[in-house]
Amino acid sequence: MEEPRFIVDSMLGNVARWLRMLGYDTLYNRAYKDWKILYLAEKESRIIITRDRGLHHRAINRGLRSLYLYMDDMAERLAFIAYRTGIRLHIDLDRSRCPVCNGELRKVSRAEVKGRVPKKVYELHYDFWECTKCGKIYWVGGHWKGIEETLRRAREILEKMKEGNIYSITEGGI
């Protein structure tokens, strides 16, 4: 099955960063107007993710796939997106995209990042990835625990959604 691709409205930059980390091709630009989001969604077969009910309805009326993200909690948001589109709720940096620019990451050797990351980071870490588009370097840093915790909660919520305990299926139609 082909991986879903997304376009995220200007209010949901953090959702875009999560989807990219999870490995999904996700467009996000604060300057995108509604018409541009609808245009790109149609042209590139992308699922729209929005907090704007008006935009959501316009998308649905045009026959586009759209998710109305009405909740605030990130774990709930990710669970809901997974419930409706089947995205993975695990991060594998070999598949991740750059949260900043959506470029693909590639694993690089430790030698390649010497002098390009802080000395302490270089000394403490062995696995590094580089964005093939903007050149930013990534490693599994101190914030990783928080990321894993959010994903663990998201997977828990997803299970409840699948059991039908929360959220009606008609909400945020796709």
List residues near Zn ion by CB under 5 A: 98, 100-101, 103, 131, 133-134, 136
Q: Which residues contact 139 (CB under 8 A, 6 or more apart)?
A: 117, 121, 125, 127, 128, 129
Distance CA 44, CA 59 (A): 14
Smallest separation (angstroms) from Zn ion to the CB of 102: 7
Smallest separation (angstroms) from Zn ion to the CB of 29: 14
Distance CA 77, CA 171 (A): 13
Q: Which is nearer to Zn ion, 18 or 167 (by Cβ)?
A: 18
> Hunting for tokens 């009910």 — which residue is that?
53
Q: Which is nearer to Zn ion, 57 or 133 (by Cβ)?
A: 133
Q: Which is nearer to Zn ion, 93 or 101 (by Cβ)?
A: 101
Angle between helices 34-43 and 53-61 (to 10 degrees): 40
Smallest separation (angstroms) from Zn ion to the CB of 105: 8
Smallest separation (angstroms) from Zn ion to the CB of 153: 27
